[in-house]
Amino acid sequence: MTATEHPPLRPLLWLLLGLLSALALAPRLASAQPEPSVAVALAEGDRLTLDEAVERAISVAPSLDAAEADAAVVRADASATRVGLFPRAQLDASYTRIGGFDDGSIQGPAGPITIDVPRNRTRFRAQVEASLTDPFVRVLPAVRALEAQAEAVARDGGDARQQVTLATTLAYLAYADARAAEAVTAVSRRRVEDQLERLRAMHGAGLASEVAVIDAEAHLAEVDARIAQADARVRVAAEALASWMDEAPERWAVDVPSAAPTAAVDSLVDRAIASRPSLQALRLRLEATDASARAARGGRWPSIGTYAAFEVANPNVNVIPPEDRFQRSWELGVFARWSPNALVRANRETDRAEAQREALRARFEGLSDQVRLEVRQSVATLEAAHASLTAAEARERAARRAYEAYAAELAAGRAVLTELLAAEEGLAAAELGTWQARSAIAAADARLRVAVGE
């Protein structure tokens, strides 16, 4: 056989290189699936569901304790005002020393009769007074105003509860995102390590240049830097989540919940207007202001009622002539009280209550418009997040096919290492983008729930 008849050496070498590359790369390619890797990574640690995290945060939230305390204060005021519905009892005791005058006398049939006026006076009096008008025109409206105000403060607590729920949800998702980024970066490092091991073996056999090995080592160092950054983000996110639960940060096993299907936008808007705690609080404050105005108008009218009194006094002024000894007496009567000052004050309080009502009504209309817009924006954001997930999944599938194709091309000698490394970076970004798209759906769903008032 002549020299020209020998098979060329280079094709044999490339064939051998392709076989070696395929054998070295196949196990790693088979194990480089991002979904199991991320799921396994997120399952590490003590399990913490989103509902558990929210429940723990709510149980220790200072804002909810403050809202409950504020409501208790207003309820106590209502209980104190309710006392005005019952008759008022009063006990009096007094001692008086009088002087500066002479004893008097009156002319009787037999001559002047001297009347000794006791200088020391001691008096004990018990009186029960019941207004027949105040409970209806003043007290009951004032009690209703305070009860409505207490309910409004409780609704403020519901709004605070929603804000704590949303903030904890976002902190939970941020922690899950950080853990996912950490897992994806770890998978990326394994892929780069595979290529570096293969290149070192090829370089030892004289089949790869030293520059290719150096490029792969530089890319591995870059991936290590991303791993360090991902680890830092995990620690920061864990601190943020732990702060909401008032616990020490741990490495929790987490997962992103799936979003339930949404109803029609108009239905969600109607539900938000009816259920949003902030709007419910404003409705109750409007009711409280109306009741306060009724109570203020009641101050324009006289107070009419009855009273009964029993008195033991020395001397008793109801006994003539006065005697220096304790004597009993009783009284039954009716009364009517009215003050021009009270009328002026009632008018000013009525004007104040009506001005407050107009201000609250304007705030209610403005907040209603804001809630409608917020619901529609939240629905649009959720729909966009679903579309982003579809695009991210398609991008990941394409990036995976590109990476596998470049790996096969490099093994066959038809591609260069930089192309494979670029494809690997694109695959890692696509894997993380898919996860972040799922997380964005959960975040958008949480914001929509808050907007609707759930």
What tens digit of pLDDT does each residue of 197-238 get? 877 887 777 777 788 788 888 888 888 898 898 889 999 999
CATH of span 3-86+133-301+340-452: 1.20.1600.10
What amino acid occupies position 369?
Answer: D
DSSP 8-state assignment for residue 85: G
Task: Give the β-pairing of 111-115 and 104-108.
Answer: antiparallel
pLDDT tens for each residue of 360-369: 999 999 988 9
Stretch 289-307: mean pLDDT: 90
Q: What is the pLDDT of residue 3?
A: 41
Q: What is the pLDDT of residue 37?
A: 58
3-state helix, strand, coil in the chain (%, to 5): 70, 15, 15
Please give the mean pLDDT across all residues of the chain.
82
pLDDT band at 92 (very low <50, low <70, confident <90, very high): very high
pLDDT tens for each residue of 2-57: 444 444 444 444 445 444 444 444 444 333 343 445 667 777 888 888 888 989 89
pLDDT tens for each residue of 167-202: 999 999 899 888 888 888 888 788 788 878 877 887
1 has a pLDDT exceeding 50: no
Half-sphere exposure of 38 (CA within 13 A, CB side): 22
Per-residue burial over 315-353, b = 16 or more CB atoms within 10 Å of its CB, e = otherwise = bbeeeeebeeeeeeeeeeeeeeeeeeeeeeebeebbeeb
pLDDT band at 342 (very low <50, low <70, confident <90, very high): confident
What amino acid occupies position 243?
Answer: S
Q: Domain residues of the chain, as ranges?
A: 3-86+133-301+340-452
pLDDT band at 108 (very low <50, low <70, confident <90, very high): low
The strand pairing partners of 126, in sequence order, are 91, 310
pLDDT tens for each residue of 242-254: 998 888 888 888 8
Q: What is the pLDDT of residue 115?
A: 74
pLDDT band at 129 (very low <50, low <70, confident <90, very high): very high
Q: What is the pLDDT of residue 88?
A: 92
> Over pLDDT 70: what percentage of the chain?
87
94 has a pLDDT exceeding 80: yes
Q: What is the pLDDT of residue 181?
A: 85
Stretch 80-84: mean pLDDT: 89
Higher pLDDT, 3 or 141: 141
pLDDT tens for each residue of 370-427: 988 988 988 888 889 889 889 988 998 898 888 888 888 777 766 666 777 788 788 8
272 has a pLDDT exceeding 70: yes
DSSP letters, 186-237, are HHHHHHHHHHHHHHHHHHHTTSS-HHHHHHHHHHHHHHHHHHHHHHHHHHHH
Residues in the chain: 454
pLDDT band at 90 (very low <50, low <70, confident <90, very high): very high
Q: What is the pLDDT of residue 415?
A: 63
> Over pLDDT 90: what percentage of the chain?
18
Contact of 336 with 302, CB cutoff 8 Å: yes
Of 37, 43, 442, 45, nearest to 249 by C-alpha is: 45
Stretch 314-336: mean pLDDT: 88
Interacting residues of 127 by C-beta distance below 8 A, sequence separation 6+: 89, 90, 91, 92, 307, 308, 309, 310
Stretch 345-367: mean pLDDT: 90
Tokens of 348: 């000013």
pLDDT band at 118 (very low <50, low <70, confident <90, very high): confident
Of 307, 310, 306, nearest to 125 by C-alpha is: 310
